[in-house]
Structure 1
């Protein structure tokens, strides 16, 4: 509906923002005159461009840490401290070669980490630009939805329940109940009437109305207090798993280091000279490449998801998506097209179809962009009834409320005020004073339409203060998406059953559910009744049900809580302000493409396209990242056991360190590239939900690490007895260095796959990283760095072949056998 309030013409060159007085009413004409805007047409694009040059975008510039300070931060932390200690002790011992090598490694590691974080920050910034609050604005006489950052002073905007106020604006029409707790800390809602200013960042809880923007960006109250807001950083499950893992690795390495120190003291070896190598042993337990690997993995995953219409707003969402084992979905817009169309008009008594549609259109608001309202307005326009709406002046409008289940308006026509309403049949019938027998007759007709999958609304009209008269019934249909059934089946095959939640009547829900493969739809009253009983009946109902009908938004929270109590990791889709508690409670809260700003703020994932396709992508990408991290864990455990045990046992057996500190650090650095490249590897997502109960994989990693220790020590014994290494400590160092290098390369190739290593091809990036690591590591011996002399090519070839056979034949077979016995579901 259009209002008929006349205002002065626009003059963009004279427009100035009004002072935002929080509670001082100002006359509507004065506000519009000062801002030079016409309430009926809004601003023109030319006026918007002029005002944006003066006031800028409606956003607060984020204060970023200086890049140089962020780079210096790379030299602070456990891994950096270990390397810096080695530098200090190398200087004290006058081991200048070690000092130079470690210094270069420390610098390169800092540069690589800094570059990767900058790239990841760029990805996050791009996603944040896509995930922004939208606003309904009137420009050039047309209502449209635009990003709120494009608002300028003088824009006419509309606010509805669930909206986050996008800028400070003065209310022109309507009465709103807003939540200002984000700004004031007060939980009590505030009532805002015509002339009052609503602050940016407030949330509309009830009512709707139009307003004119008076302040934008950093000039708003929200903008001035933005620096006080801190983003929460929830702890990830993987962080706890890796922290526990690193602690145990430190215990293992520290135990071996203590043993070496005790034996050295008994043999009379100077303790001071052992310190750099002991620090290197401890460094082998530090996840030096993990932050970069995890950052790269998350950045790549986020970019891939963004391309497929999924914006991740909370880091934990991708991880939780890998373990999610049940998904509750809204019917509208997820399973159905969210394109309501009127399929039939059934006038009652002496009313005509045109009367029913005319009254229904009067009880609708185009500015709200509500699917039901748009369906009525579209049908009225199609039947040329829409032209008559311009002859009616609006007086008041009451939007849909879940409690009264109807929309209502008072309009003036030919000097008379009339009241029109549309909504649930029983609600409208009771408002019209119908008796129970008459209501039962109407409900029977509603049930008849429901079996066809139609949703039925009633329309009524009457005097402003009297009892209205029901005019007729209107049936609407929102057809299922063509891909809904196949995608629900695909999610079920991935171990994620779908449960449909809808506010529709049971018959409508069953009809829609049958079409997409969800046959057992129950009324939500059955869940509530079971909840009041003792035992596990509630869980049994949830397990057997494919969905619930007649669901109020607050019921979704109840469903999520019951599923979590049953031990499920729950995903939940939603779009309304009342869905926010359920979205926040679920491990994976998913705001659909049509969601309100509050729902998007509560969710951890936001979809930019309708349907389930994007959720399928989220599950697959989450499980892909899980596999990358699991591969790193298996590699880290086995490699740490190999390096620490190899050096310690070889020292105890030979009485000398078989590898220098600088050579060990070169080895760690070279293999870091392969570790980072694991984030780009091509993996096969699991067909079942993942779990962080990875005791079986830890056992496999330990056995593989011990197997490599035995294999490498056998090769050292061969070199010691056959190649004369007993009398050439430098050659022994190169020999052991190449053993650890080639074992690291081939073991990484084996560990990336849970089955035989050839089951899937690695990514090109990983292949390049492994080849480059092997080649670069070999060249370091050929150029004869201090302490790393070159070896005869026969010895190098023998080490290479021995490592390849050990890792890709013997150890790969051990891996497959153990995984089948300890983790059988992982090789499905």
Structure 2
């Protein structure tokens, strides 16, 4: 402990410097909630709806304008509320006790909040402390764990004259030093600042934009054809313009963003129960497409805890005796990671140690620790430390090759000796290593089976990294930090900025990248990656940068996120297929029906009812029963649109047949319009069951919510048509007959669909 009196800053000097340098904290800028909410109305789909809303208001079509307004508000509130829930959960996760620091103020050692430290403060740190700021040590000697900053798995020695980084943890000893940097100027802070400029564009936004682009192109062509026809046929503009607007509304994928949000939100809630917190909803979709996982080693694939990996006794020395002497030269009171690892290993084989008369903790100057005990009536001394030092004390000359062999596996090697005072005998060598997490190898194997290429990224040496990768079954060559452009399975000797650039390099090659990590050094890469994963022991900066935060030990959560994401993909593929098919069918039927028959085959009001009847029922797909894909999922828009067009033309034939049957039965135009409306509703529901399975539609059981929602939809629209509410009435036999005919037609289409839709997925 330092003396009671000391020479540090005065309170006045500290206040002046605090005003000059600011608090010792990395300030996180948080956007205002109202701006986040307004951002939900700034995207391709809302733009189209907003444009339509303005035109409807200008024309005085208030019922339609109100319905569109409600659609916009529903989408905005749903997306905003789900993201806020995730952010609130993250804030709770980030709460922690305020760190206190021992600083010299006004000639006395005081305990002050770490946030109040300023450059020039004299600070004292000891075992168990988190270093509160960057320090230049003036006296003392300590062992520090810098794995959260540099990725090094082994603690390092620091003495007077050395620098000490903020956020590192003191594992042994005590030391004092002057604060050289605080807040954003510290090593910790500079790394955290890199996070601000990082970030990957959401592939979900690109997908929605691509789908909207195709639909708008089709809509523009159809509207242009209708306007030309209307001009040639002298149809009044006031009559045709509302129809064109309704065609636009029917072509906009109104519920597409809301359904994606709902599906990912529901899945994120399921993941919470599996120890995975989703902080960015798009990450669930990105998990499905992830092709590469760049995994930090220390604390992620390994336990970040030293343990005995091998004990090599010298000739004539049993392993039990070797561990016994090593334990006598160790003490749990020091909290030295090496001593703790030795004691854990020895307790099973040597539960009873002789009474120790004296213990000398590890000293960086002598590079050994010692324990004095009585044996056979004589005073013995057990020694543990550097192989070179211990071998010299014992006069041993054949220790080097054995030490090299043990160190080749990336382990830290210690020598053990014991004997009467002045007559030590070389007992053997101990190899200490950071053990692999129990579930890591299995998770790596399962991810690779799912088509995800796992790449290990570490600050350790290539030899250490190679041994860990071999044990985990990670495929590929081992490269150093200078070969980031190479396609390697392991990147060793990597610095914080290297991880960020590695992720960027893979993204430029068209890869969807995941990154797991726990330290401040990982934060920029976690934010840049499409799926940044902060593991359970991660720092607050890493958690804030990541899109997924694991709240349970191990890496099982990463695998759960991938499988869940692929289930979401299958649900959204079904929804998107269904939506594009229905847009093509409805838009072509409305426009071609007008061009061919010079009348509205469905009224504008019924078109708006159709949106509610189909789009919001199909949102139940967010919880449908699906099988995850065996390989990373990527949206192929061209194939998606082509497949949808083929199915849409089949349904177009169906709906024109419905119109023809209505005319042949001699029904009035208003009743035919009701029949067409029912045909569009029934075919829309049937199409959901048709495209939800890439195989035949009976290959899997639909979700319960989907079944109930479909039944309710049929009963509601059938009841409205039978009662003549909001539309012309139809006899019940005709409604039931149309429903049965739709089911038969769906079974016929199923034979065509199977080879077509299998091109869209690897399932």
Please report the TM-score for the alignment, with normalisation by the length of structure 1: 0.67
Q: Give 1:804 shift.
A: 2.2
Aligned to 1:106: 69
Question: 1:495 is matched with which residue?
Answer: 451
Q: CA deviation at 1:611?
A: 2.7
Question: Given the superposition, is the C-alpha separation of residues 410 and 579 from structure 1 closer, same or farther in structure 2, using an over 3 Å criterion?
Answer: farther
CA drift of 1:688 comes to 0.9
What secondary structure is seen at the aligned counterpart in 2 of 1:284?
helix
SS of alignment partner, residue 571 of structure 1: strand
Structure 1 residue 813 corresponds to structure 2 residue 754: no
Q: Which moved more, 1:735-744 or 1:353-362?
A: 353-362
Deviation at 1:704, TM superposition (A): 0.7
Note the C-alpha offset of 1:731: 1.1
Report the Cα offset of residue 457 of structure 1.
2.8
2:596 corresponds, among 653, 659, 670, to: 653
Alignment of 1:323-338 (within 5 A): 323-338=289-304
In structure 2, relative to structure 1, the CA distance for the partners of 1:614 and 1:447 (3 Å cut) is: same
Deviation, 1:573, is 3.1
Of the three residues 698, 712, 723, the one matched with 1:758 is 698
* 1:278 Cα deviation from its structure 2 partner: 0.8
> What corresponds to 1:475 in structure 2?
431
1:701 Cα deviation from its structure 2 partner: 0.6
Distance in 1 between residues matched to 2:84 and 2:358, nearest whole Å? 51
Rounded Cα–Cα distance in structure 2 between residues aligned with 1:712 and 1:88: 31
Deviation at 1:286, TM superposition (A): 1.8
Matched ranges for 1:332-411 at <5 A: 332-342=298-308, 366=335, 374-375=340-341
Q: Cα RMSD (Å) of the superposition? A: 5.4
Matches within 5 A, 1:193-208: 194=177, 196=179, 199-200=182-183, 203-204=186-187
Pick which of 761-770 and 613-622 moved more: 761-770
For structure 1, the 5+ residue unaligned runs are 9-15, 26-57, 92-97, 140-149, 165-172, 181-191, 206-220, 399-406, 412-420, 462-469
Partners of 2:585 and 2:648 within 8 A in 1:
yes
- Whether 1:743 aligns to 2:683 is yes
> Is the contact made by 2:328 and 2:353 (CA closer than 8 Å) also made in structure 1?
no
For this pair of structures, how many residues does the alignment match? Answer: 675
Structure 1 residue 630: deviation in Å?
Answer: 2.1
Aligned 8 A contact 2:695 2:754 in 1: yes
Contact 1:459 1:473 in 2 (8 A): yes
Counterparts of 1:563 and 1:129, CA distance in 2: 33
State the shift of 1:117 in Å: 3.4
Following superposition, the deviation at residue 687 of structure 1 comes to: 0.4
After TM superposition, give the deviation of residue 716 of structure 1 in Å. Answer: 0.7
SS in 2 for 1:790: coil
Task: Tell me if 1:789 matches 2:720.
Answer: no
1:692 deviates by: 2.5
Contact 2:329–2:369 (Cα < 8 Å) also in 1: no
Q: Is the Cα contact below 8 Å between 2:198 and 2:527 reproduced in 1?
A: no
Aligned-residue offset at 1:163? 6.4
Which residue of structure 2 aligns with residue 826 of structure 1? 762
TM-score, L = length of structure 2 = 0.72
After superposition, the Cα gap between the structure-2 partners of 1:629 and 1:344, relative to the gap in structure 1 and judged at 3 Å, is: closer
For residues 708 and 37 of structure 2, what CA distance do their matches in structure 1 show?
32
Whether the 8 Å contact between 1:24 and 1:196 is mirrored in structure 2 is no
What secondary structure sits across from 1:247 in the alignment?
helix
Taking a change above 3 Å as real, the CA distance of residues 236 and 799 of structure 1, as seen in their structure-2 partners, is same
The Cα of 1:554 is off from its aligned counterpart by 3.4
Alignment partner of 1:732 out of 661, 667, 672? 672
- What SS is found at the alignment partner of 1:646? helix
Cα displacement (A) at 1:357:
6.2
> Structure 1 residue 644: deviation in Å?
0.7
Decide whether the 8 Å contact of 2:278 with 2:548 is kept in 1: yes
Change (3 A) 1:565 1:199: closer
Distance 1:758 1:327, change over 3 A: same
- Tell me, in whole angstroms, the C-alpha distance in 2 between the residues paired with 1:488 and 1:132: 31
Q: Distance in 2 between matches of 1:383 and 1:108?
A: 74
What is the rounded CA distance, in whole Å, between the counterparts of 1:766 and 1:754 in structure 2? 17
2:285 and 2:12 map into 1 onto residues whose CA distance is 45
Structure 2 partner of 1:305: 271
Shift of 1:20: 5.0
Specify whether residues 500 and 107 from structure 1 end up closer, same or farther in structure 2 by C-alpha distance, changes over 3 A only.
closer
Q: 2:230 aligns with which of 241, 264, 276?
A: 264
Structure 2 residue aligned with 1:78, among 43, 47, 55?
47
How big is the shift at 1:484?
Answer: 4.1
C-alpha spacing 1:586/1:653, structure 2 compared with 1 (3 Å):
closer
Q: What are the superposed Cα offsets for residues 659-708 of structure 1, whole Å, 9 maximum, x if unpaired?
A: 11111111112222123222222221100111233432321111111111
SS, match of residue 261 in structure 2: helix
Structure 1 residue matching 2:130: 3-state secondary structure? strand
Aligned residue number for residue 158 of structure 1: 130
Contact 2:308–2:432 (8 Å) recurs in 1? yes
Out of 552, 557, 560, the residue aligned to residue 493 of structure 2 is 552
- Residue of structure 1 equivalent to 2:92: 129
Q: Aligned in 2, Cα 1:563/1:246: closer, same or farther, shift over 3 Å?
A: closer
CA deviation after TM superposition for structure 1 residue 478, in Å: 5.1
Cα gap change, 1:446 to 1:521, in 2 (>3 Å): farther
Q: Shift of residue 103 of structure 1?
A: 2.2
Cα 1:559–1:761 shift into 2, 3 Å? same
- Select 1:22's aligned residue among 17, 30, 48: 17
Given that 1:162 and 1:596 are in contact with CA atoms closer than 8 Å, whether structure 2 keeps it comes out as no
User: What's the CA shift for 1:567?
Assistant: 5.8
Look up the match of 1:666.
Answer: 609
| 1:376, distance to aligned residue in structure 2 (A) | 5.7
Question: Any idea what SS the aligned residue of 1:573 has?
Answer: strand
CA distance in 1, matches of 2:737, 2:506: 58
Q: Deviations over 1:86-120 (max 9, x none)?
A: 643553xxxxxx63365256336624752563244
What's the offset of the Cα at 1:306? 2.4
1:343 positional shift: 6.2
1:457 aligns with 2:413: yes
How far 1:295 moved relative to its partner? Answer: 1.6
